[in-house]
Amino acid sequence: MTATHLSPDSTRTVAAPPARRRRTSGNRHLNLFLGVIGLAAVLALWQICAVTGIVDPNFSSSPSGAFTALVDSISTGAVWDPLGSTLSIVAWGMLISVVVAIPAGLLIGRNRILYGLTDPLISIMYSVPYVVFLPMLIFWFGIEMNARIVIVVWSALFPLLINVIAGARNLESSHMQVAKVFCASRVMTLRSVAFPATLPYILAGVRQAVGRALIGAIVAELFMGSAGLGYQVQLQTSNFEMDDAMASIAVIAVVAIVLTRGVAYLERRFTFWSGSD
Amino acid sequence: MNLPRQKLVVEDLRLGYWSRRSHSFSLACDGLSFDVAENEFVAIVGPSGCGKTTFLTALAGLTPVTSGRLELNGEQIEGPAPDRSLVFQHASLYPWRNVVANIEFGLKAQKRLDRRGRARVAELIDLVGLTGKEDTYPRELSGGMSQRVNLARALATDPDLLLLDEPFSALDAQTRELMQDELTRIWQSDGAGTGKTAVFITHDVPEAVFLADRVVVFSSGPARLVEIVDVRLPRPRGSEIKRTPQFQEIHDHILDLVMSQTQPGRRAAPHDSNAPVAG
């Protein structure tokens, strides 16, 4: 279910302007309803397979077992520590990525020489699956919290950077002309024209970056285990606690959905004006 | 002779730009000379691509002058300044600003958005007929409404010289007629009884005759001056004036001049009964 939000984007589709999808509310309700039905059907099938012994619940877990484990981990409070750990490195990673990528992207997008210099590098860094750098990053930075943040930044920075650059490059010349004709200062042009004009791209970039940041965090925890939800899944799976592992995965799924939906909400809230103009 | 004060002086003006593609200098306007008096509404017509838009962007200060004089109030135009406003061909509104904020943009850019500025904006919203649309965002506005905002934004800074770049060319025929009426009304009623000095670019001859005190005809590119035609029609003008014989006469004369530019062979041709008729 989270795969659509979290799968690494291998193609460079980000340069396309973020289109606003407008669905009628009837359609949206229907889709939600169908989605719940589909999910319930798969869970029911899984449960039947586990109960009837078609699959061994010791290996495959079962929805009821995973649910019990989830309730347990919440009631004992065992879930909060790993959840907090994962969320905090995602948050730090995103914060660093946003603080670096937005100004850097605006600068690169508005400067032809900088763009020419950095474009191939950024494209390569964006396209190569960052996971291959993981062993090297462990070698360089160790397996402490800082090292995990490096991986999160590594995975989140480039989609965001590419989007901000695309936004800055696609500033409509007419918008800049209006600012010129009315004698807007450089600061005002940047703040009141360039920034809002780039905002749809920035938020589209943040949406992608958040998804990749979460993958980065989980992957880092799987490999450099000491804390976090990824580490927990790894540990529980090695101990054959399949129900607990599935419960942890369910928590990760919820985090993924909340994060991407949260950014989608921000997009609707702050770029409602974009689209047909 | 009681000459009105010359607001804008154009003398032996030459404009051009470096083409990035062909690495050569292309001339847009050459040897232009004419004056625009205070409170005068001048329309410039010419074949498409003749350089009239380049001329307007030079007036706005967006295109540098290659040589010659281009003086507003006795000072050479060297860049954009608060004394000029441009009404853009495509409304070019900021989609993230609502109607009021778009109209306020120029005043805000020039740090003049004080109580008087806000009062001016409120007055303009009323004048251009946008009452009730203050909080609307551009994507919900029709083409005509967008151009009203575009016009109000230009008028808000109270410019000495108002520049209009084919503002109605993208509108449908009915809206265009309506906006022409509206523009004359707004122009006639904005300011203390007299209209602002305005330069209006168009390729639509009836529009030029209807709006202007004088129509300047440009040749095909590079633009040279063909003729300046006085439009001696009374003001205030309503759309019914387009059906008068005087209007027709001026219109046909200018259309002939423009057509002879687009099709040099027609230069000597007599009056063509197939020529498009205004209205």
Interface confidence (ipTM) of the complex: 0.86
Contacting B with CB below 8 Å, chain A residues are 172, 174-175, 177-185, 188, 192-193, 196-197, 199, 271-277
Q: Across the interface, do B94 and A188 touch by the CB < 8 Å criterion? A: no
Q: Spell out the residues 6+ positions from residue A181 whose beta carbon is closer than 8 angstroms to its own.
A: B60, B61, B62, B80, B84, B85, B86
Question: Measured between CA atoms, how close is A197 to chain B, in angstroms?
Answer: 8
Share of chain B above pLDDT 70, in %: 90
pLDDT at residue A9, rounded to an integer: 40
pLDDT at residue B268, rounded to an integer: 40
Domains observed in chain B = 38-63+73-83+161-279 (3.40.50.300), 93-158 (no CATH)
Contacting A with CB below 8 Å, chain B residues are 60-62, 80-82, 84-86, 88, 90, 92, 94-96, 105-106, 108-110, 137-139, 153, 157
The conformational region for residue A69 under phi > 0 = left, psi -120 to 50 = alpha, else beta, is alpha
Residue A267 CA, chain-centre distance (Å), reads 14
Q: Which of A112, A178, A186, A195 to mutate to test the interface with B (most CBs of B within 10 A)?
A: A178
> Of B252, B245, B241, which is closest to residue B277 (Cα–Cα)?
B252
As a whole number of angstroms, the distance between CA B201 and CA B207 comes to 10
pLDDT at residue B239, rounded to an integer: 85
Q: Across the interface, do B85 and A199 touch by the CB < 8 Å criterion? A: no
pLDDT at residue B189, rounded to an integer: 77
Q: Give A110's pLDDT tier (boundaries 50, 70, 90).
A: confident
- Residue B211 tokens read as 């709006």
pLDDT at residue B272, rounded to an integer: 42
Q: In what order do the strands lie in the sheet with B197-202?
A: B84-87, B161-165, B197-202, B41-45, B214-218, B225-230
Answer yes or no: is pLDDT of B72 > 90.
Answer: yes
Using DSSP's 3-state secondary structure scheme, residue B253 falls into: helix
What average pLDDT does chain A have? 86
Share of chain B above pLDDT 90, in %: 62
> Of B60, B80, B58, which is closest to residue B69 (Cα–Cα)?
B58
Identify the CATH number of the domain defined by range A63-270. 1.10.3720.10
The angle at the Cα of B26, spanning B20 to B27, to the nearest 5 degrees, equals: 150
More confident residue, A134 or B131: B131
DSSP result, A232-243: HHHHHHHTT-HH
Query: For the ranges A17-21, A74-78, B125-129, which has the lowest average pLDDT?
Result: A17-21
For residue B81, the one-letter residue type is: A
- Residue B97 tokens read as 């600003």
Q: pLDDT (tens digit, 9 = 90+) per residue, B30-65?
A: 999 999 998 899 999 988 878 899 999 999 999 999
Residue A213 CA, chain-centre distance (Å), reads 5
As a whole number of angstroms, the distance between CA A89 and CA A213 comes to 9
pLDDT at residue B4, rounded to an integer: 54
Query: For the ranges A8-12, A154-158, B180-184, which has the lowest average pLDDT?
Result: A8-12
Q: What are phi and psi of B33, to 5 degrees?
A: -140, 120
Q: Give B274's pLDDT tier (boundaries 50, 70, 90).
A: very low
Answer yes or no: is pLDDT of A132 > 60.
Answer: yes
Can you give the residue ranges of every domain in chain A?
A: 23-55, 63-270
Q: Spell out the residues 6+ positions from residue A265 whose beta carbon is closer than 8 angstroms to its own.
A: none
Q: pLDDT (tens digit, 9 = 90+) per residue, A223-250?
A: 887 789 999 999 999 999 999 999 999 9
Contacts of A273 in chain B (CB under 8 A): 95-96, 137-139
What average pLDDT does chain B have? 87
Is B70 in contact with B13 (CB distance < 8 Å)?
Answer: yes
Q: pLDDT (tens digit, 9 = 90+) per residue, B143-178?
A: 999 999 999 999 999 898 999 999 998 888 888 888
Residue A196 CA, chain-centre distance (Å), reads 22
Q: Across the interface, do B62 and A184 touch by the CB < 8 Å criterion? A: no
pLDDT at residue B194, rounded to an integer: 62
Answer yes or no: is pLDDT of A22 > 60.
Answer: no
More confident residue, B164 or B262: B164
Q: What is the mean pLDDT of residues B234-251?
A: 90
Q: What are phi and psi of A223, to 5 degrees?
A: -90, -35
As a whole number of angstroms, the distance between CA A201 and CA A271 comes to 10
